[in-house]
């Protein structure tokens, strides 16, 4: 199947190319970047040296015509225009920006600070989290790939909240994220000298991923869910760890929690339950997911306060972005959901 990647010079675009170049079921038709048009891809994504001689091109609608599915890795607010054009042209699109994640157009003004130009498309788009929306993804024309921290939080919480095990009003998500989550553009916040050796809380009460988390968790549990979310920038390149502190509605029992996870995830190819709490790796740690499409989930029941602590770890560029996009692609294409996603992580 022929695919194209629009806006591929960033970290998410590069990760997508890494996965697609190794994917048995697709052929890359065109890779675009305004900034790097004409440049060899491996000069921007040096890991691909030896794997491809492709060059970045300027985006043009015609070039997309023979691609069955187009991936867009354009920035938030710049993606919607291009994506809607591609759909009008008859393409299916997997969009990695936030532009089609939220169902409520008004939320874009509240969380993203811009007025959405294509609110109609929001209805049509499918939130690309296979563990929850697999059936809709199969038929989707437009898939909006979730945010990385939203993916971790939702996957960690959904099973237990849908079983009504926890209080939806006192849900704390404390996230730790690596620097690649901030993208390829140099800023002081991601300057090596500033980032190394510290832990920096940011957007402590109003991060954009809250909107996704609440939308999806409210849908799953059919009541309003409020997430208290605070992310922290840590000295790590790839990886998200979402630590969820939840409180039981009634007394939380370990066996009920296991049952909730098992019933929802037993057959999921990319969820690993890491919850034996034995040894150094008995609970999720994003280090173990680097480069893979896994979301590792573990938990502990804290009888002291009737608390349930949940840990969800993933690679923000893979299961948190490009890998999830490829997983959606596989579902849309009716092929093995694991195709092209067989990277085994590294240790150490």
Decide whether 146 or 284 has the Cβ nearer to its own copies.
Answer: 284
Of 309-328, which residues contact its own copies (CB under 8 A)? 309, 311, 313
Confirm or reject binding of residue 230 to its own copies (CB under 8 A).
yes
Applying CB under 8 A, the site for its own copies has a residue count of 93
Decide whether 141 or 309 has the Cβ nearer to its own copies.
Answer: 309
Cβ of residue 90: shortest distance to its own copies, in angstroms? Answer: 32
Residue holding tokens 């938030």? 76
Confirm or reject binding of residue 113 to its own copies (CB under 8 A).
no
Cβ of residue 328: shortest distance to its own copies, in angstroms? Answer: 20
Of 16-55, which residues contact its own copies (CB under 8 A)? 18, 21-22, 43-51
Instruction: Give the number of other CB atoms < 10 A from CB of residue 164.
Output: 14
Burial group, residue 119, by CB count within 10 angstroms (0-12, 13-18, 19+): middle
Which one of residues 114, 192, 250, 254 is an interface residue with its own copies (CB under 8 A)? 192
How many residues can be counted in the chain? 348
* Residues in a beta bridge with 172: 228, 245
- Is the alpha carbon torsion for 29, 322, 163, 210 positive or negative? negative
Decide whether 90 or 113 has the Cβ nearer to its own copies.
Answer: 113
Q: b/e map of 59-78 (b: 16 or more CB within 10 Å)? A: beeebbeebbbbbbbbebbe
Q: Which of 26, 84, 148, 295 is catalytic?
A: 148
Contact by Cβ (8 Å): 209, 153? yes
Decide whether 193 or 266 has the Cβ nearer to its own copies.
Answer: 193
Cβ of residue 81: shortest distance to its own copies, in angstroms? Answer: 28
Which one of residues 2, 103, 134, 232 is an interface residue with its own copies (CB under 8 A)? 232
Confirm or reject binding of residue 342 to its own copies (CB under 8 A).
yes
Q: Is 148 a catalytic residue?
A: yes
Decide whether 61 or 303 has the Cβ nearer to its own copies.
Answer: 303
Burial group, residue 263, by CB count within 10 angstroms (0-12, 13-18, 19+): exposed
Of 239-298, which residues contact its own copies (CB under 8 A)? 239, 241, 243, 245, 247, 272, 274, 277-281, 283-288, 290-291, 294
Residues 6+ apart with CB under 8 A from 185: none
Decide whether 279 or 334 has the Cβ nearer to its own copies.
Answer: 279
* Residues in a beta bridge with 92: 69
- SS in 3 state form for 113-173? CCCCCCHHHHHHCEECCHHHHHHHHHHCCEEECCCHHHHHHHHHHHHHHHCCCECCCCEEE
Cβ of residue 92: shortest distance to its own copies, in angstroms? Answer: 26
Contact by Cβ (8 Å): 190, 132? no
Helix (H) or strand (E) holding 241: strand 240-247
Decide whether 147 or 231 has the Cβ nearer to its own copies.
Answer: 231
Confirm or reject binding of residue 307 to its own copies (CB under 8 A).
yes
Contact by Cβ (8 Å): 116, 144? no
Of 197-226, which residues contact its own copies (CB under 8 A)? 197-202, 204-206, 210, 226
Which one of residues 139, 187, 266, 267 is an interface residue with its own copies (CB under 8 A)? 187
The catalytic site residues sit at 148
């Amino acid at each position: 199947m022929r695919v194209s990647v629009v806006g591929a010079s960033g970290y998410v675009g590069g990760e997508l190319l890494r996965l697609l170049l190794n994917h048995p079921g697709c052929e890359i038709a065109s890779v675009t970047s305004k900034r790097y048009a004409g440049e060899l891809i491996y000069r921007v994504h040096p890991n691909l040296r030896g794997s491809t001689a492709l060059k970045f091109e300027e985006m043009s609608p015609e070039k997309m015509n023979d691609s069955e599915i187009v991936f867009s890795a354009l920035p938030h607010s710049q993606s919607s225009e291009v994506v809607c054009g591609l759909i009008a042209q008859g393409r299916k699109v997997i969009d990695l920006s936030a532009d089609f994640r939220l169902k409520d157009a008004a939320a874009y003004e509240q969380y993203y600070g811009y007025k959405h130009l294509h609110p109609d498309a929001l209805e049509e788009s499918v939130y690309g989290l296979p563990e929850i929306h697999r059936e809709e993804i199969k038929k989707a024309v437009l898939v909006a790939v979730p945010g990385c921290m939203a993916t971790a939080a939702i996957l960690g919480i959904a099973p237990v909240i849908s079983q009504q095990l926890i209080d939806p009003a006192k849900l704390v998500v404390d996230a730790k994220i690596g620097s690649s989550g901030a993208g390829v553009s140099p800023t002081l916040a991601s300057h090596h000298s500033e980032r190394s050796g510290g832990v920096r809380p940011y957007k402590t009460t109003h991060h954009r991923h809250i909107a996704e988390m609440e939308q999806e968790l409210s849908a799953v549990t059919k009541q309003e869910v409020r997430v208290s979310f605070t992310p922290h920038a840590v000295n790590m390149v790839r990886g998200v760890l979402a630590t969820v502190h939840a409180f039981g509605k009634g007394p939380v029992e370990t066996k009920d929690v296991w049952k909730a996870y098992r019933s929802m995830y037993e057959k999921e190819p990319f969820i690993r339950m890491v919850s034996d709490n034995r040894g150094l790796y008995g609970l999720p740690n994003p280090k173990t997911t680097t480069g893979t499409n896994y979301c590792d989930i573990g938990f502990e029941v804290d009888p002291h306060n009737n608390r349930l602590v949940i840990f969800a770890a993933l690679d923000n560029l893979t299961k948190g972005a490009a890998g999830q996009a490829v997983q959606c692609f596989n579902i849309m294409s009716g092929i093995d959901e694991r195709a092209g996603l067989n990277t085994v992580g590294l240790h150490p």
